C-alpha cells in the first residue's frame, strides 16, 4: 500500500500525475520531479534526465530509507530538497516540483502569488512561501527549500526556478500546485485589465460560515433520462477540465431533471475523473443520502426555481473570465456576433451574494443575462441544455481572452447598436 492510503502503487501514482502535468503543459520534457514518501521512510521519485512525456513504470526510482537506490536510473538531481522537506515536515508525504509558466514568471520576479485572490485558492494552498535562489541540486537549495517549508506552508516559490507543492498525498500536492498556477495566471491576466482586488480574511471565511448542508433523502434509483443526464454532465465536466475551463477541485455543473429536481456535480471530487455515480440528485431542497453535492447547490436550486426556461448551470474558474471578476472590469459581449448572441448582457455580482442570498443571485440572471461574473469567485453560466451551457462557457472564456489580448493592440471597437439590433432580428433573440 502506498502513502496515499489506498491500493494505488507509488509508481503508478507518480506516472499518472506526471502525465497530467506534462499533458497540460505545466512542465517541460526535462523539467520537474515528483516524489512520494512511504511510512517506512522509502522515497519514490522520478528519475534524472528522462523524458517527462514518456516515462514508464519501470523508470520510477526508489531511494530506500537507509540510502540504497532501487531502479534502472539515478533519482532526480533535486532529490536533496525533497529529502530536506520530508525531514522537516513529517505531515508531508508527497511533493510536486515543476516549471509552470505563470509561477515561473512570479519566481523570476522574486514574488509569490497572493492566494487571497480567491477563497478556494486560500483554503487549498494557504500562504505561499519563498526560497531564495541556489544552484539546482545543491545542498544550499535543499536547505533553503526545507527551511521555507519548516515555516508551515504547503507551497513554496523557488526564486528563478519554479515551484514546489506538498501534501499528505500526491493528489493533494497536485491540487495545490494546479490551483496555485491557476491563481498566478489569473493575477497576471487581471493586471492587464487594471487593479487586482483581493479578499479580506473575513471574506475568505464567509463561504465556510455561510454553508449549510442540505438534508438527505433516500434515492430510489435512476430512470433512463436521469442516467443520460448523469452521463452528459460527466462528459462535459471532463471536457471542461481537459480544456482548462475547470480545475480539479473547483467548478460545478448541474442539469434540471424535472420541476422539483436537478443533478449536480459532487463536492471536491476530481473533475478529471468524475463518473455518473458521483453525480448527486437534489430533490425538493434535499440531496440523495450518502453524497455531498457541490456547495453551489442552493444557488442552482434558486435559479431553477425562478427560471423554468433554464435547464443547466455551470460555475467555473476560467482564467480570462475570472480575471475580469477579480478586477471588477466590465466584460462587454459586443465584440463579434457569436459573443453577442451567446453572452448577451453580462452581470457582475458583488462578492458574498452567492453565499448569503441565493434568491438574490437568481434575480440577477435571466435569458437576457445568462452570464454572471462572480466577484473574486469565477463565473456562472446558464443554458437551455447541458450543451448550451457548456457552449456559452467556451464562448465566454474565448471572448474574455480576445478582449485581454486586444488591449495590447489598441482601442477596442465594439459592435454598433444597429449591428446588434440586426443580429437580434435575424436570429430571433428573445428576452
Q: What is the pLDDT of residues 198-213, one digit of tens each?
A: 999 999 999 999 999 9
Q: Is residue 71 a contact partner of residue 60, using CB atoms and an 8 Å limit?
A: yes
- Digit-coded pLDDT (tens) for 362-386: 999 998 899 999 999 999 999 999 9
Q: What percent of the chain has pLDDT over 70?
A: 98
114: phi then psi, degrees, rounded to nearest 5: -90, 110
Query: Are both 256 and 379 inside the same structural domain?
Result: yes
Q: Are residues 221 and 181 in the same domain?
A: no
pLDDT single digits (tens) 140-156: 999 999 999 999 999 99
- 316 with 246: CB under 8 angstroms? yes
Query: CA-CA distances (angstroms) from residue 81 to 31, 40, 71, 84, 135?
Result: 15, 19, 20, 5, 11
| One domain for residues 267 and 378 | yes
Q: Examine residue 393 and state whether it is found in any structural domain, yes or no.
A: yes
Residue 431 belongs to a domain: no
Task: Name residue, grid cell 491540487.
Answer: 175
Alpha-carbon gap, residue 107 to 402, rounded angstroms: 27
| Average confidence (pLDDT) over 54-64 | 92
Shared domain for 260 and 174, answered yes or no, is no
**Does one domain contain both 135 and 220?**
no
Domain match, 219 and 189 both = no
Q: Which residues contact 119 (CB under 8 A, 6 or more apart)?
A: 199, 203, 204, 205, 206, 207, 376, 377
Structural domain contains residue 188 = yes
Of the residues 193, 224, 250, which one is the last residue of a structural domain? Answer: 193
Is the domain of 316 the same as that of 352?
A: yes
Reference 350, options 379, 375, 315; nearest CA is: 375
Q: Are residues 24 and 139 in the same domain?
A: yes
Are 396 and 323 contacting, i.e. CB atoms less than 8 angstroms apart?
Answer: no
Tens-place pLDDT, residues 381-428? 999 999 999 999 999 999 999 999 999 999 999 999 999 999 999 997
Per-residue pLDDT tens for 8-37? 599 999 999 999 999 888 988 888 899 999
Residue 164 phi/psi, 5° resolution? -135, 135
Q: How many domains does the chain have?
A: 2
Sort 35 into a burial class: Cβ within 10 Å, 0-12 / 13-18 / 19+: buried
Contact 91, 300 (CB under 8 A): no
Strands 216-217 and 286-288: parallel
Give the CA dihedral 114, 120, 122, 126, nearest 10 degrees.
-120
Residues 20, 112, single domain; the answer is yes
Domain boundary among 138, 161, 193: 193
Instruction: Provide the phi-psi class of 428: left if phi over 0, else alpha when psi is between -120 and 50, else beta.
Output: left
- 198 lies in some domain: no
In a domain, 176, yes or no: yes
Structural domain ending residue among the three candidates 146, 164, 193: 193
Closest CA to 325 of 294, 366, 354: 354
- Assess contact for 166 and 154: CB atoms under 8 A: yes
CATH of the domain at 68: 3.40.225.10
Distance CA 387, CA 373 (A): 20
Q: What angle do CA 256, 261, 267 make, to 5 degrees?
A: 80
The answer to whether 198 touches 117, Cβ cutoff 8 Å, is yes
DSSP sequence for 26-83:
SS-SS--EEEEE-TTS-EEEPBTT--TTS--GGG-EEE-TTS-EESSSPBPTTHHHHH
Q: For residue 3, name the pLDDT band (cuts at 50, 70, 90).
A: very low
Q: Which domain holds residue 317?
A: 211-426
Residue 40 has pLDDT above 70, yes or no: yes
Over the chain, what is the mean pLDDT? Answer: 94
Shared domain for 265 and 300, answered yes or no, is: yes
Q: 153 by DSSP, 3-state: which?
A: coil
User: Is residue 67 included in any domain, yes or no?
Assistant: yes
Asked if residue 401 and residue 324 are part of one domain, the reply reads yes
Cβ 271 vs Cβ 262: under 8 Å? no
pTM score of the predicted model: 0.93
Are 87 and 32 part of one and the same domain? yes
The yes-or-no verdict on residue 2 having pLDDT over 60 is no
Residue 337 resides in a domain: yes
Kindly provide the residue ranges of all beta strands, DSSP E only, lying in 90-182, ordered along the sequence: 94-98, 129-131, 155-158, 162-167
CA pair distance 415, 410, nearest whole angstrom: 16
Residue range 243-278, pLDDT digits in tens: 999 988 889 999 999 999 999 999 989 999 999 999
Amino acid at each position: 500500500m502506498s502513502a496515499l492510503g489506498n491500493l494505488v502503487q507509488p509508481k503508478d501514482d507518480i506516472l499518472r500525475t506526471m502525465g497530467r502535468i506534462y499533458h497540460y503543459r505545466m512542465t517541460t520534457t526535462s523539467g520537474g520531479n515528483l516524489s512520494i514518501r512511504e511510512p517506512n521512510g522509502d522515497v519514490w521519485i522520478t528519475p534524472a534526465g528522462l523524458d517527462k512525456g514518456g516515462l514508464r513504470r519501470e523508470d520510477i526510482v526508489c531511494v530506500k530509507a537507509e540510502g540504497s537506490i532501487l531502479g534502472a536510473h539515478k533519482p532526480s538531481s533535486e532529490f536533496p530538497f525533497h529529502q530536506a522537506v520530508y525531514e522537516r515536515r513529517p505531515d508531508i508525504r508527497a511533493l510536486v516540483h515543476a516549471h509552470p509558466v505563470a509561477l515561473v514568471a512570479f519566481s523570476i520576479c522574486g514574488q509569490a502569488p497572493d492566494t487571497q485572490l480567491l477563497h478556494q485558492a486560500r483554503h487549498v494552498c494557504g500562504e505561499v512561501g519563498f526560497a531564495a535562489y541556489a544552484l539546482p541540486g545543491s545542498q544550499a537549495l535543499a536547505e533553503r527549500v526545507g527551511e521555507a517549508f519548516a515555516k508551515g506552508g504547503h507551497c513554496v516559490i523557488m526564486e528563478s526556478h519554479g515551484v514546489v507543492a506538498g501534501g499528505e498525498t500526491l493528489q493533494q500536492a497536485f491540487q495545490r500546485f494546479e490551483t496555485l498556477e491557476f491563481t498566478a495566471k489569473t493575477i497576471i491576466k487581471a493586471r492587464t485589465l487594471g487593479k487586482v482586488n483581493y479578499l479580506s480574511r473575513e471574506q475568505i471565511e464567509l463561504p465556510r460560515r455561510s454553508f449549510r448542508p442540505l438534508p438527505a433523502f433516500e434515492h430510489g434509483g435512476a430512470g433512463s433520462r436521469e442516467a443520460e443526464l448523469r452521463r452528459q454532465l460527466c462528459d462535459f465536466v471532463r471536457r471542461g477540465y481537459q480544456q482548462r475551463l475547470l480545475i480539479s477541485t473547483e467548478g460545478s455543473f448541474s442539469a434540471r431533471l424535472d420541476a422539483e429536481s436537478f443533478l449536480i456535480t459532487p463536492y471536491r471530487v476530481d473533475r478529471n475523473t468524475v463518473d455518473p455515480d458521483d453525480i448527486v440528485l437534489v430533490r425538493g431542497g434535499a440531496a440523495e443520502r450518502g453524497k455531498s453535492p457541490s456547495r453551489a447547490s442552493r444557488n442552482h436550486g434558486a435559479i431553477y426555481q425562478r427560471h423554468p426556461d433554464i435547464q443547466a448551470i455551470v460555475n467555473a474558474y476560467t482564467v480570462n473570465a475570472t480575471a475580469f471578476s477579480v478586477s471588477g472590469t466590465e466584460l462587454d459581449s459586443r465584440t463579434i456576433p457569436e459573443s453577442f448572441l451567446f453572452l448577451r448582457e453580462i452581470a457582475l455580482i458583488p462578492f458574498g451574494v452567492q453565499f448569503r442570498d441565493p434568491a438574490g443571485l437568481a434575480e440577477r440572471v435571466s435569458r437576457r443575462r445568462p452570464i454572471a461574473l462572480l466577484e473574486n469567485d469565477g463565473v456562472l453560466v446558464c443554458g437551455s441544455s447541458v450543451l448550451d451551457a457548456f457552449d456559452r462557457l467556451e464562448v465566454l472564456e474565448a471572448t474574455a481572452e480576445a478582449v485581454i489580448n486586444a488591449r495590447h493592440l489598441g482601442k477596442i471597437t465594439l459592435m454598433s447598436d444597429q449591428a446588434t439590433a440586426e443580429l437580434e432580428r435575424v436570429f430571433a433573440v428573445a428576452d
